[in-house]
Chains A and B, each alone.
Chain A
Amino acid sequence: NAGVMQNPRHLVRRRGQEARLRCSPMKGHSHVYWYRQLPEEGLKFMVYLQKENIIDESGMPKERFSAEFPKEGPSILRIQQVVRGDSAAYFCASSPPLVAEETQYFGPGTRLLVL
């Protein structure tokens, strides 16, 4: 059973470009979470999604950031017009449908560098 998959693992963008980060949850998991980790910091919650629904986006910046989890395909975290402060590691986690508030299984992360 493959774990949570994220791609790309590393992404370099220039200021003003768009960044698209993809996450495929573990098989059988229908809950997806995105977290951001700045250097030497813990992870900060961004958004929680179920298929075709955003359940909680309270941790998402109000502008430039969006997330989706379509019926088919991976979850996407999209950052428009990136700035240097967006440089961070972005982690996706997933959990099975019935115990959404318990163990979350994390992917390897996407490290975004904005030049």
Chain B
Amino acid sequence: SQQGEEDPQALSIQEGENATMNCSYKTSINNLQWYRQNSGRGLVHLILIRSNEREKHSGRLRVTLDTSKKSSSLLITASRAADTASYFCATGGAGSYQLTFGKGTKLSVIP
């Protein structure tokens, strides 16, 4: 299965620092998406990057995709306490509607 796996499992940083989370997957993909989940809540879609794209930005978020290494990274710049959440990558295969999620990275931003 094309399972995304994030690392680190947990990350604790000071407010204002940058946070980098990584995701690796196993098989070819059509797109890779990042979601945020606050404790006990639903998932919020952050950004989608397609397999023919290498980098994408959205506000303080920067996502890279390296299909040769089957990996992606999510960078959150100038982190805020409100960024505290779990972050999941999810892969979508060509012609597939299933999203395959990793276990997530739990980010804590300390004020």
A positions within 8 Å CB-CB of B = 4, 31, 33, 35, 40-45, 48, 55-56, 59, 91, 93, 95, 100-109, 111
Contact = CB atoms under 8 A, between A and B. Distances in A.
B39 to A, nearest CB: 11
A4 B65 CA distance: 29
List of 5 A-B pairs having minimum Cβ-Cβ separation, nearest first = A42-B101, A108-B42, A106-B43, A45-B98, A43-B101
Nearest to A108: B42
Contact of A43 (B48, B88, B97): B88
9 contacts: A35-B99, A41-B103, A43-B43, A43-B99, A56-B98, A59-B98, A101-B96, A103-B33, A107-B42
Contacts, number: 64
B104 A109 contact: no
Given A101-B30, A102-B31, A106-B42, A48 B98 contact: yes
Nearest to B106: A40
A109 B103 contact: no
Contacts of B93: 101
Contacts of A108: 41-42
